[in-house]
A and B are shown apart, each in its own frame.
Chain A
Amino acid sequence: EVQLVESGGGLVQPGGSLRLSCAASGFTFSNYNMNWVRQAPGKGLEWISYISGSGVTVYADSVKGRFTISRDNAKNSLSLQMNSLRDEDTAVYHCTRGRADFDYWGQGTLVTVSS
Chain B
Amino acid sequence: GAGVSQSPRYKVAKRGQDVALRCDPISGHVSLFWYQQALGQGPEFLTYFQNEAQLDKSGLPSDRFFAERPEGSVSTLKIQRTQQEDSAVYLCASSPFRQRANQPQHFGDGTRLSIL
The answer to whether A binds B is no
